Structure 1
């Protein structure tokens, strides 16, 4: 059941990932200070030349799908691996800045649960 509360969470999650995805291209928010291991990891991702643009485009597309409200379930599924990796990054390498990541991942899980009826046919054995 989609309520105003759930719609608000969709808007928050979708906007957050569209903004953070765009920031990877435009750089309108300064990067946070990271511990050395976290900085090395992020530097390695940037050095590949393709990983940051791939993550950014995925965040923008998934965020836009969530905001569209027509394809929210698809956007939530696409976004889940990114949410999990962001949480694991903060747990393992940068715990001090993890609260926003945990909140957004929690919203993602909650909304996936709300949209569970859309996935029921995918979860049935053949």
Structure 2
């Protein structure tokens, strides 16, 4: 595969993860408050889940951005991207586009780097 395309996909995924992860800390992208008693409201009220999710997005995003430990970043991101898609399917299908994009970009990068992951399967 063309290394320029791979680099663009890697950087796009890194930027998405860094922006959405940082938004969980700094709230610079305005979002509606979740309805009282909803699953998302419960996650926010725990006090630790949103920071944990944010860090789980920021670390792989940063690793992809600096192009170090790509394998670790992609493996770390695989269950996260699947969970993001499943969350949107179950609770908020109208906003599934960014989730599907993250999943697709992650899957593409795993496919391109499949030689590194072959031993896992």
5 Å matches for 1:1-126? 1=1, 3-32=3-32, 36=35, 40-123=38-121
Unaligned runs of 5+ in 1: none
Partner secondary structure for residue 98 of structure 1: helix
Unaligned runs of 5+ in 2: none
- What is the number of equivalent residue pairs in this alignment? 121
Alpha-carbon distance between aligned partners in 2 of 1:49 and 1:6, rounded to the nearest angstrom: 37
Runs ≥4 residues deviating over 6 A? none
Partner secondary structure for residue 38 of structure 2: helix
| Contact 1:2 1:114 (C-alpha < 8 Å) held by counterparts | no
User: TM-score of the superposition, structure 1-length normalised?
Assistant: 0.87
User: TM-score of the superposition, structure 2-length normalised?
Assistant: 0.90
